[in-house]
Amino acid sequence: MKVILLLAGIFMSVIAHSQHRVYGKVFDSGGRALAGANVIINDSYLGAVSNVSGDFVFNKVPAGNFLFTVSYIGYEKEEKRISLPSDTGLNFYLKRSPIMGQEAVVTSARAGSKDPVAVTQISSEELRRQNMAQDIPWLLSLTPSMVVSSDAGAGVGYTGFRIRGADANRINITVNGIPLNDAESHSVFFVNMPDFAASTENIQVQRGVGTSQNGAAAFGASVNIQTLALNRESYSEISSSYGSFNTYKNSVSLGTGLLNNHFTLDVRLSGIHSDGYIDRAFSDLSSYFVSAGWHSSKSVVKLNVFSGKEKTYQAWDGVPGYLLQENRTYNGLGFYTDENGVDRYYDNQTDNYQQDHYQLHVSREISPYIYLNASLHLTHGEGYYEEYKEDEELASYRIPEIILDTVIVSTSDLIRQKWLDNNFYGAVFSATYKKNNTDATLGGGWNRYEGEHFGKVIWSRFAGASEVNHRWYSSFSDKKDFNVFAKMNYSLTQSLNLYGDLQFRGISYLIDGEDDDHRDISQNHDFLFFNPKAGLNYADNQGNRLYFSFSVANREPNRGNFVDADSTQPAPTFETLYDYELGYHYSGSRFQAGANLYFMDYTNQLVLTGEINDVGAAVMNNIKDSYRAGVEFTAGLRQKEVFSWDFSLALSSNKIRNSESFVDNWSYWDDPDTQPEQFVFYKERSDIAFSPEIVASSRFRYFLAKGLSVDVVSKYVGSQFTDNTSSSNRKLNPWFVNDLRFEYLLKPRLLKELSVNLCIANIFDYQYSSNAWVYRYFEGGVEGLYDGFYPQAGINFMAGVRARF
């Protein structure tokens, strides 16, 4: 109660200052009014967009000295520092830019200030403050409704995240408008893009279906990453960090600035290593980023080339539940017994992958109202994971039995690799028209994925007649994906906007060949989706914003859904989501708060039910009726150069109506004539797995002295079930974790900037697991299970220094 009263007192003291009205117009240098210009008051939550007449207004600005920033596509940004002793009128005259800026590059997948979408944007400044070695999901952990997890337990290596309970498999992720989700698995593996945050200008997270995107459907959220914007001044930067678990990162980057008023070049090289919190869960990661640009007054041509290479020791299986109390860092992968009966761990039980990205962006201003953008892209990925396997059936690898001294040898220890070699390429485009009351975009894309899956035996104790790098299975995939969309935001009045968005998406997917168990998995699937969206957005000059939207999204099954499906049953079908979003947000000079209500109604959602296919492997089934409903609260409080506080709270209910769960009966194999292969359990309503009802985050930043600040970062995640049965025996306990982050920012004479950072994570050494899996069975009428939990590190630290020249 004392804390609540203290915060209330701070809040009242902040808003009690005298408030003034600031109004004005935005013109070009010729005196023509600019509609749609962004007017921002720095160090506050206030922002406005000029109307058709170029007018803007802020009604509640406290007395003080403020920096105003005004920007408009195709014009030089203007900044003015204004003292506000009373009501003030301001006029801004923007000059045409001699070169086209980064804002003209493909941004059609992004939500604008008038779009009826729940949005969070993370700036490059905030990313740099946190970026010491961890992957991008770790840096986004304070986003509303987000839960992150790390296989190695410390945020380096394989990391994942969920938003509103949906994992990356159901979240649309793009880089500069280019799809990043793997075309087959729909997933994104940020381990293949180490230190990519260092080359990122900002990240926008749209919760729900959001606006039209290229690539995979947004069934929980979309994440849009924008790489480095135009930097007119030359720079160089060195960044190093070190911390627990022998984790370290070294990075160097440089930029030429604008050469000859046309050319730019930005380069980054990074290396990251971590031994991991989990036993042997090391990561060796390297990456580079190169961006070359040519700018004129009405055109931009930009080539981005970036690559990541990873080698990680596998930690995919987790820790068995019965070991959690005695050995939280246990990793059983790679275990084997050698010929002398000695227990060992195979030292190359690793995942190895390299992913190379090539993006060519072209932007052109046709007129002050029309912009065209087009991008070509190619992503090449190649790699494998390697495993030591004991007593494998040689026939399973198409290796003939061996006769040694009249003894038939049919099993052998061996080392195998499972490979993926793929190319993903295509083009995306958009044309934007922005004039007076209308902001419209026509866009789309065509993409193709070609991938080969195959397995090799690189060593076998009894190899027989097999060749070196003996290949035992192979399949080929060819997936074509196109979409076209038209969206428009029309101003009905000065405050009320109507939003519409229509997207058609077509998919042709071919799989040819066999899986690792020699099943023929050849198949072909075609889909054509219509995804409409509509909404209203009301924003007045008092800082109030109210919006409502209705959106439809359709999602095709991924490769695993098709390949693992029971060949004796109909193939899995597509899923449909009807998303309703209602939000309100208030922005004041020192205080902002909002609430977003959502109802996400699914038809034919694919979930694990425990059912198995004709060869005993688990499959995902379409369930007829399920939903996610909730409310997301956000709030922020800011006192310039004193403190800031940002808070989010998400409350949700995530249910399956009339669910079925299937449990294997191991006794079936003893008596197939009288025993069922699986038991079936019915429930009228059950919880969707990995969907906590409460997710909350807080970051309190206090400025101790000039350039010196401390952040108290807190994250609470409620309990969540590990399967879809709502059983209290199969759930993750809630966790509440707190971090301390210190930053000392200097500007010494010989440097542009020097930053020293220290993060002490999980300061109370709280023991928790952020993810898990479970397998149930019955034997002799008694229920048993196998499971695996993913414990996260206790108290740990990272320290870093960044120097910019």
What's the confidence (pLDDT) of residue 8? Answer: 44
Residue with tokens 């999204």: 553
Contact 183, 415 (CB under 8 A): no
Q: Strand, coil or helix: what is 293?
A: strand
- Angle (nearest 5°) at CA 298 between 32 and 121: 80
Query: Is residue 103's pLDDT more than 70?
Result: no
Average pLDDT value for residue range 79-93: 83
For residue 369, pLDDT over 90 is answered with no
Report DSSP state, residue 729: T
Contacts of 542 (CB under 8 A, 6+ apart): 59, 60
- pLDDT value, residue 32: 86
| Mean local confidence (pLDDT), 689-700 | 97
- Rounded to an integer, the average pLDDT of 674-693 is 93
Kindly report the average pLDDT of the chain as a whole number. Answer: 91
Minimum mean pLDDT among 40-44, 598-602, 606-610, 801-805: which range? 40-44
Q: Which residue has the tokens 């979309």?
A: 222
- Report how far apart, in Å, the C-alpha atoms of 204 and of each of 210, 473, 489 are: 11, 41, 19
Q: What is the pLDDT of residue 124?
A: 87
pLDDT at 140 over 80: yes
**pLDDT-based confidence at 102, cuts 50/70/90?**
low
Number of helical H runs and strand E runs in the chain: 4, 46
Q: Which of 220, 391, 374 is nearest to 301 (CA)?
A: 374
Give dist(CA 713, CA 698) in Å, integer.
Answer: 6
**For residue 308, pLDDT beyond 50:** yes
Look at residue 531 and tell me whether its pLDDT is greater than 90.
Answer: yes
pLDDT at residue 109, as a whole number: 63
- Of 45-59, 184-198, 375-389, the least confident: 45-59
User: How confident is the model at residue 110, as a pLDDT?
Assistant: 78
Instruction: Give residue-wise pLDDT tens across range 231-269.
Output: 889 999 999 999 999 999 999 999 999 999 899 999 999
Give mean pLDDT, residues 685-701: 96
Q: Three-state SS for 352?
A: strand
Q: Distance (Å, rounded) from C-alpha 602 to C-alpha 219?
A: 9
**Which is nearest to 346 in space by CA: 263, 280, 288?**
280
Residue 107 is predicted with a pLDDT of: 58
State the Cα angle at 622 between 621 and 628, rounded to 5°.
115
Alpha-carbon distance values, 270 to 191, 226, 285, 286 (Å): 13, 19, 8, 6
Spatial CB neighbours of 262, under 8 Å, sequence gap ≥ 6: 99, 294, 295, 296
- Calculate mean pLDDT across residues 323-341: 94
Which band of pLDDT confidence, cut at 50, 70 and 90, is reported for residue 2?
very low
Please say whether the beta carbons of 460 and 479 come within 8 A: no
Residue 526 has pLDDT above 80, yes or no: yes
User: Quick check: 116 pLDDT over 50?
Assistant: yes
Can you give the pLDDT at residue 5?
43
Residue 98, pLDDT above cutoff 80:
no
How far is it, in rounded angstroms, from Cα 754 to Cα 71? Answer: 29
| Measured distance CA(619)–CA(382) in Å, rounded | 27
Q: DSSP state, 616?
A: S
Greatest Cα pair distance in the chain: 102
Distance CA 345, CA 335 (A): 4
Residue 466 has pLDDT above 90, yes or no: no
**Terminal CA-CA length for the chain:** 48
Instruction: Tell me the C-alpha distance between 341 and 786, whole Å.
Output: 26
d(CA 558, CA 593): 38
- pLDDT tens digits for range 407-424: 899 999 999 999 999 999
* Mean of pLDDT values over 129-151: 93
- Give me the mean pLDDT over the 520-545 stretch: 94
| Sign of the alpha-carbon dihedral angle for 55, 435, 227, 207 | positive
Integer Cα distance of 652 and 605 in angstroms:
18
Q: What pTM does this model have?
A: 0.92
Res 105: pLDDT? 52
**Per-residue confidence at 6, pLDDT binned at 50, 70, 90?**
very low
Distance separating alpha carbons of residues 545 and 595, to the nearest angstrom: 11
Look at residue 16 and tell me whether its pLDDT is greater than 60: no
Comparing 75-79, 487-491, 631-635, the range with the smallest average pLDDT is 75-79
Closest CA to 25 of 115, 93, 108, 123: 93
Selection from 268, 267, 269, 272 nearest residue 241 by Cα:
272
Given a cut of 60, is residue 17 above it in pLDDT?
no
Q: pLDDT-based confidence at 35, cuts 50/70/90?
A: confident
Digit-coded pLDDT (tens) for 580-633: 999 999 998 889 999 999 999 999 999 988 887 766 677 888 999 999 999 999
Query: Would you say residue 1 has pLDDT above 50?
Result: no
Residues 635-656 have pLDDT tens digits of 999 987 899 999 999 999 999 9
Q: What is the pLDDT of residue 18?
A: 58
3-state SS record for 353-421: EEEEEEEEEEEEEEECCEEEEEEEEEEEEEEEEEEEEEEEEHHHHCCCCEEECCEEECEEEEEEEEEEE
Instruction: Give the span between the Cα atoms of 344 and 177, in whole angstroms.
Output: 47
Residue with tokens 């959690």: 324
